[in-house]
């Protein structure tokens, strides 16, 4: 069975009060829900708060999921809204909170260090964008939604989605030094 | 087709290249008013376009790398959410039960309200009947109605005169005598009866009650009551001077004479019938005697 169909079945069971089905759904989606929140908020603590809010919201509102959209689309819509709400609540721009370990002091392997460095780069690059721009990037590059789905989730035209994704990627590409003269990017 | 091969602006190039990475190049070009051939030509003339595409692709790959969440932390968040879901489900179930109860209560309330409305309507109809009688009574008591008859009989009055419409007063008097005789023969009992059908107001005084009060002590109470009843009519429309002290009222009814309501009184005495026709103000309209 296709993942979406499988999740739709689980969603119906969860809506009928099947806790095991709800737990299975959350287990399948929590990693990406957290990743989306993390990408939008750029801060691990805020991301955890938003993830918790998103999961609670999914669990409480599963009864209202009508099956018209794919379950995954509904889940990431809830997650995106939770993250954007959290960003508005905090009223602050995301800042990378993890610091690179001192040379020679690393307790991680080289691969982990590289991953942390990459994440810092990503967070730093995306910090130049507003949460709404980051949401489009997250839904495209993390979740894999097409432009039309993202437009539907965010309630914006597909052309705007394209522009936001482009700017997110360009910001990171600029930071990584692929362009000698970085262009101006919206900062909110 | 446009032969423009000018280089793209940086942001324009980023948007097209990024869209190309996502398989959305055609839509992006269309939105920019460009054909695929134009995009290709201008891209070739844009320095560093291929390198920029590679950089954007690298950025996309980095952006698609999700931040991981600790397993234990994830399990804790999930457990909390499932618990919240169970509570919400229980609450929804409670709400549904409550709504069902409310619907049942509302249905019961509606049924009770309908029953109450029906009962009230029935009560009102009953009251209306009484009220109609009262209204009819007062209508007859009004100048346009023959109040003496109603007052005299206490019978069920109605809007239509008991004897119907007449244009000739003689015909009216004959009809009144005929009615008095008919009712008299039909009513042999010692009681006051009413005739005239719906809305009719014709009252017959029983034959034995027709005797003077002092001459018929055996029927005293009935006669007294009857005379008392008709006395009101007589009080309202006193009998003409020629009948005072003689003749007994045997029929009091109403009619219309040339379109005007009139009170018709039939007296009997000495083997004769005297028909008195009064207007609603008790003014004598006509008096006829029949042997």
For chain B, the structural domain boundaries read 10-63, 84-141, 147-290
Beta carbons of A26 and B28 less than 8 Å apart:
no
Pick from B14, B59, B74: which is nearest to A176 by CB? B59
- Could you report how far apart the first and last alpha carbons of chain A are, in Å? 43
Which pair of structure tokens corresponds to residue A46? 């805020």
Beta carbons of A23 and B82 less than 8 Å apart:
yes
Q: Is the pLDDT reported for residue B152 higher than 90? A: no
User: Per residue in B201-241, pLDDT tens?
Assistant: 444 444 433 333 333 333 333 334 334 433 444 444 666 66
Among A23-27, A46-50, A152-156, B84-88, where is mean pLDDT lowest?
B84-88
d(CA B99, CA A64): 17
Among B3-12, B111-120, B171-180, where is mean pLDDT lowest?
B111-120
Class of domain A3-95+105-175: mainly alpha
Percent of residues, chain B, with pLDDT higher than 90: 25
Q: Is the pLDDT reported for residue B153 higher than 70? A: no
Beta carbons of A56 and B52 less than 8 Å apart:
no
Phi, psi (rounded to 5 degrees) for B238: -60, 145
pLDDT value of residue A98: 45
Q: Are B26 and A162 contacting, i.e. CB atoms less than 8 angstroms apart?
A: no
pLDDT value of residue A86: 94
**Is ipTM over 0.90?**
no
Q: Are B216 and B161 contacting, i.e. CB atoms less than 8 angstroms apart?
A: no
d(CA B217, CA A187): 121
Q: What confidence category does residue B244 fall into, taking pLDDT thresholds of 50, 70 and 90? A: low
Q: Is the pLDDT reported for residue A152 higher than 80? A: yes
Strand B260-269, strand B248-257: pairing = antiparallel
To which residue do tokens 């309501």 refer?
Answer: B261
pLDDT value of residue A101: 40
Q: Which residue of A has its CA nearest to B23?
A: A146
Beta carbons of B78 and A62 less than 8 Å apart:
no
Q: Is the pLDDT reported for residue A64 higher than 90? A: no
Among A28-32, A127-131, B24-28, where is mean pLDDT lowest?
A127-131
pLDDT value of residue B98: 78
CA distances from A71 to A40, A76, A119, B81 (A): 21, 9, 28, 17
Q: What one-character-per-residue DSSP string does A113-154 give? A: HHHHHHHHHHHHHHTTS-HHHHHHHIIIIIS---HHHHHHHH
Q: What one-character-per-residue DSSP string does B120-179 give? A: HHHHHHHHHHHHHHHHHHHHHHSTTS-HHHHHHH-----SS-TT-EES-HHHHHHHHHHH
Q: Does B94 touch chain A (CB under 8 A)?
A: no
Quickly count: other Cβ atoms within 10 Å of residue B137's Cβ: 17
Q: Is the pLDDT reported for residue B74 higher than 90? A: yes
Chain B residues whose beta carbon lies within 8 Å of the beta carbon of residue A119: 65, 67
Which pair of structure tokens corresponds to residue B291? 């042997």
Q: Does B12 touch chain A (CB under 8 A)?
A: no
pLDDT value of residue B132: 52
Q: Which residue of B has its CA nearest to A124?
A: B63
Q: Does B30 touch chain A (CB under 8 A)?
A: no
Please, what is the average pLDDT of chain A?
Answer: 83
Q: Are A84 and A55 contacting, i.e. CB atoms less than 8 angstroms apart?
A: no
Interhelix angle A19-41/A3-15, nearest 10 degrees = 120
Q: What confidence category does residue B154 fall into, taking pLDDT thresholds of 50, 70 and 90? A: very low
Distance from CA of B121 to the nearest CA of A (A): 46
Distance from CA of A72 to the nearest CA of B (A): 16
Q: Is the pLDDT reported for residue B10 higher than 90? A: yes
The radius of gyration of chain B from alpha carbons, rounded to an integer in Å, stands at: 52
Which pair of structure tokens corresponds to residue A154? 């965010």
User: Sign of torsion, CA A140 A146 A152 A153?
Assistant: negative
Beta carbons of A183 and B64 less than 8 Å apart:
no
Q: Is the pLDDT reported for residue B41 higher than 90? A: yes
Q: Does B56 touch chain A (CB under 8 A)?
A: yes
Q: What confidence category does residue B148 fall into, taking pLDDT thresholds of 50, 70 and 90? A: very low
Q: Does B14 touch chain A (CB under 8 A)?
A: yes
Q: For residues A162 and A181, which has the higher predicted lDDT (pLDDT)?
A: A162
Q: Is the pLDDT reported for residue A138 higher than 90? A: yes
Chain A residues whose beta carbon lies within 8 Å of the beta carbon of residue B95: none
pLDDT value of residue B131: 54
pLDDT value of residue B289: 85
Q: Are A40 and A72 contacting, i.e. CB atoms less than 8 angstroms apart?
A: no
Among A172-186, B7-21, B46-60, B227-241, where is mean pLDDT lowest?
B227-241
Pick from A22, A142, A146: which is nearest to B66 by CB? A142
- List Cβ neighbours of A13 (8 Å cut-off, separation of 6 or more): A21
d(CA A168, CA B63): 9
d(CA B172, CA B260): 13
C-alpha triplet A122, A124, A130: angle, nearest 5°: 95
Q: Are A142 and A32 contacting, i.e. CB atoms less than 8 angstroms apart?
A: yes
Chain A residues whose beta carbon lies within 8 Å of the beta carbon of residue B67: 34-35, 38-39, 44, 47, 119
d(CA A130, CA A120): 17
Phi, psi (rounded to 5 degrees) for B75: -65, -40
Q: Is the pLDDT reported for residue A6 higher than 80? A: yes
Beta carbons of A60 and B22 less than 8 Å apart:
no
Q: Does B95 touch chain A (CB under 8 A)?
A: no
Q: Is the pLDDT reported for residue B59 higher than 50? A: yes
Q: What confidence category does residue B115 fall into, taking pLDDT thresholds of 50, 70 and 90? A: confident
pLDDT value of residue B29: 93
Q: Which residue of B has its CA nearest to A184?
A: B11
Q: Against a cut of 0.90, is the pTM above it? A: no
Q: Which residue of B has its CA nearest to A34?
A: B69
């Amino acid at each position: 069975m296709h993942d979406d169909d499988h999740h739709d079945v689980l969603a119906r069971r969860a809506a009928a009060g099947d806790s095991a089905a709800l737990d299975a759904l959350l287990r399948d989606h929590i990693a990406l829900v957290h990743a989306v929140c993390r990408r939008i908020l750029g801060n691990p603590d805020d991301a955890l708060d938003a993830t918790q809010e998103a999961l609670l919201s999914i669990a409480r509102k599963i009864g209202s999921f009508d099956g018209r959209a794919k379950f995954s689309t509904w889940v990431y819509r809830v997650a995106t809204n939770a993250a954007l709400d959290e960003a508005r609540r905090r009223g602050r721009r995301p800042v990378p909170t993890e610091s690179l370990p001192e040379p020679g002091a690393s307790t991680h392997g080289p691969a982990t260090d590289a991953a942390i460095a990459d994440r810092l780069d990503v967070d730093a690059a995306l910090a130049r964008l507003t949460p709404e721009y980051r949401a489009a990037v997250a839904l495209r590059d993390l979740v894999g939604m097409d432009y039309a789905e993202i437009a539907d989730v965010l309630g914006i035209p597909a052309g705007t989605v394209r522009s936001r994704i482009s700017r997110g990627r360009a910001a990171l590409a600029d930071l990584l030094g692929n362009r000698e003269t970085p262009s101006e990017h919206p900062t909110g | 087709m446009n032969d423009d091969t000018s280089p793209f602006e940086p942001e324009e190039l980023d948007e097209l290249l990024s869209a190309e990475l996502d398989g959305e190049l055609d839509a992006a070009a269309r939105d920019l008013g460009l054909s695929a051939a134009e995009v290709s030509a201008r891209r070739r003339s844009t320095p560093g376009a291929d390198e920029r595409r590679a950089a954007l692709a690298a950025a996309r790959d980095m952006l698609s790398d999700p931040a991981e969440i600790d397993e234990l932390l994830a399990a804790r968040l999930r457990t909390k959410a499932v618990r919240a879901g169970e509570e919400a489900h229980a609450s929804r179930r409670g709400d549904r039960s409550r709504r069902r109860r409310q619907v049942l209560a509302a249905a019961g309330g509606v049924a009770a309200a309908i029953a109450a409305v029906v009962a009230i309507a029935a009560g009102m109809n009953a009251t209306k009947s009484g009220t109609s009688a009262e209204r009819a009574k007062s209508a007859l008591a009004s100048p346009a109605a023959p109040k003496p008859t109603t007052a005299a009989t206490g019978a069920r009055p109605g809007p239509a005169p008991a004897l119907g419409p007449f244009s000739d007063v003689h015909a009216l008097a004959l009809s009144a005598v005929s009615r008095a005789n008919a009712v008299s023969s039909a009513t042999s009992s010692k009681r006051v009866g009413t005739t005239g059908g719906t809305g009719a107001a014709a009252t017959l005084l029983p034959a034995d009650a027709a005797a003077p009060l002092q001459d018929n002590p055996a029927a005293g109470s009935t006669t007294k009551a009857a005379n008392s009843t008709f006395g009101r009519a007589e009080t309202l429309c006193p009998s003409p001077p020629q009948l005072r002290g003689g003749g007994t009222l045997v029929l009091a009814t109403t009619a219309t004479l040339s379109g005007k309501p009139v009170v018709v009184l039939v007296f009997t005495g000495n083997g004769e019938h005297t028909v008195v026709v009064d207007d609603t103000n008790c003014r004598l309209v006509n008096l006829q005697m029949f042997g």
